[in-house]
Structure 1
Amino acid sequence: MPISDLLAASTVDASTLTGDRILATAAVVVALAGAIIGGLALGHPTSRSRRRRSAVALIAGVTGVLVGVLVVVTADGGPGTGNGIVGGYAALVLGLLATLLGGLALARTHRTA
């Protein structure tokens, strides 16, 4: 692909919702929820629902990572092109955080059981 095609990538308005932006935003929301739930699972050491919370955080984190990777890999251009690249990277970071927190909480659950 010639460099002129990359430089001529169409841009959309910042408030325009494209399909890729919606997908990336949904992945960010799921990953953020997983990170919050994972933090709650770690923060409450005597909670009975720690195993459930840690599993939800793990699933949400992995989902955020997978969808974030999908968005980043399929993006045709950079930020401002409507491909959701910024949301894809945000979903990657938050998904990794949610996976880490959920894994730590799950490990603590197994240690205390």
Structure 2
Amino acid sequence: MSASAALMAAAEGGIIGDGRTGANLALGAGLLGLAVGRLALTLARAGRRIGGRNARIGGMSAIAMGLAGTFLALLHVATTSGGPGTGNGLLGAVVAVPLGLGAVLLSRRALTRGHHADRQADRTSV
């Protein structure tokens, strides 16, 4: 296959990655945000034993990943031509939106728990 034929196939949607790359990237960011948010929530539940700072850093990075995934998914939905089932990744981007928002909400819960654990530790040490 010549280079010009490969470029034509990519422009017509014949090669995977032309329209689905943005949706897959958004899905990956949302899933990574959920995983890091769950880990941060586990660390926050453990309290000061493991380290409240680790839970806080994990929660903030999971919020960033969730917001990035949501933004990429919304951008892909807004710029996608065609409907679902056309191979352009529209359904993947639609699924990525709640994944990213779930990562944000889970991470916010971890940050809140970590903050309450810090308050309790301050009260007992005084």
TM-score for the superposition, normalised by structure 1: 0.80
Task: Pick the aligned partner of 2:55 from 29, 40, 50.
Answer: 50
Question: For residue 5 of structure 1, what is the aligned residue in structure 2?
Answer: none
TM-score for the superposition, normalised by structure 2: 0.72
Question: For residue 80 of structure 1, what is the aligned residue in structure 2?
Answer: 85
User: Which piece of structure 1 moves more, 74-83 or 87-96?
Assistant: 74-83
Runs of at least 5 residues in structure 1 that lack an aligned partner in the other structure: 1-10
Question: For residue 29 of structure 1, what is the aligned residue in structure 2?
Answer: 28
Alignment of 1:92-107 (within 5 A): 92-107=97-112
The structure whose Rg is larger is 2
Kept after mapping to 1: 8 A contact 2:13/2:19 = no
Which stretches of structure 1, 4 residues or longer, exceed 6 Å deviation after superposition?
Answer: none
User: Which piece of structure 1 moves more, 77-86 or 94-103?
Assistant: 77-86
SS of 1:19 mapped into structure 2: coil
Kept after mapping to 1: 8 A contact 2:63/2:108 = yes
Give the paired residue count: 101
Judging by fraction of residues, say which structure has more helix: 2
Residue 38 (structure 1) aligned with residue 14 (structure 2)? no
Which string of whole-angstrom CA distances, capped at 9 and with x for unpartnered residues, describes residues 11-64 of structure 1?
856xx4133311110111111011011111112323321011101110000001
Inter-partner Cα distance in structure 1 for 2:92 and 2:117:
37
